[in-house]
Amino acid sequence: MDAASFALIAHDLKNALGSLEGELEAMIDNPTPALAQSAYLRCTELRRQFIQFLTIYGADDGMHTHCEDESPKDLLELLYRAGQIRRLSLPGAPRMAIELAENTPPYWYFDQRLVHMALDAALHNASRFAREEVTLSLRQEDGFLVFAIADDGPGLGATDPSSASTGLGTDLCMAVAQAHRSGERQGRVELRNRPEGGARFELWLP
């Protein structure tokens, strides 16, 4: 990670901590459940961003994977449940849908921890932009396992609704994808607008 990117991310995280400090200070005089929930959600977002930052920062010599036979379906369902829980705790969160192609393999060789982290970042990003729904899907194509996360928001290039975003999630997804190799093939990330509206994120693993 170059010095300019490091400084920018550190600045954003500092601002987010300052905002959290303000919320906690307000709770001293007015400890309401709404303020407590807001502070909690900000804490979880900061934790997510710090983990992403440390993962990328520690991968300057190349991210190392520890791949094993994993169930991609189980991982997708884990993300789906996390999205459902978020919807229960945050009424404005989009509803979740899940789609599994008939050719979805029962097992695939990948680093479950890193892929989970990358997909969680992509899901969080899609949830910020979605108007009503986020769809998780899984398929096999051209010898790749493809995880996809689609939202019904304004599409790529829209103004980010979150003032606390650092952009770490996208960098993390790309680093995780490229760390997965099989022979001459390498993982990749694809982002595109959907014809019906919204954006679609895809993580391709060889």
Q: pLDDT tens digits for 126-158?
A: 988 999 999 999 999 999 999 999 999 999 877
pTM, 2 dp: 0.76
Mean pLDDT, rounded, for 68-80:
95
pLDDT at 148: 98
Mean pLDDT, rounded, for 80-88:
83
Domain 3-205 superfamily per CATH: Histidine kinase-like ATPase, C-terminal domain (3.30.565.10)
pLDDT at 47 over 80: no
pLDDT at 168: 65
pLDDT at 53 over 80: no
Domain ranges of the chain: 3-205
Is the model more confident about 14 or about 87?
87
Mean pLDDT, rounded, for 172-201:
93
Q: pLDDT grade, residue 124 (50/70/90)?
A: confident
Dist CA 9 CA 12 (whole Å): 5
Is the model more confident about 70 or about 28?
70
Span of 20-29, 56-65, 160-169 with lowest mean pLDDT: 160-169
pLDDT at 3 over 60: no
pLDDT at 68 over 70: yes
Mean pLDDT, rounded, for 150-177:
77
Write a three-state SS string for the chain. CCHHHHHHHHHHHHHHHHHHHHHHHHHHHCCCHHHHHHHHHHHHHHHHHHHHHHHHHCCCCCCCCCCEEECHHHHHHHHHHHHHHHHHHCCCCCEEEEEECCCCCCCEEECHHHHHHHHHHHHHHHHHHCCCEEEEEEEEECCEEEEEEEECCCCCCCCCCCCCCCCHHHHHHHHHHHHCEECCEECEEEEEECCCCCEEEEEEEC
Q: pLDDT grade, residue 17 (50/70/90)?
A: confident
Quote the mean pLDDT of the chain. 83
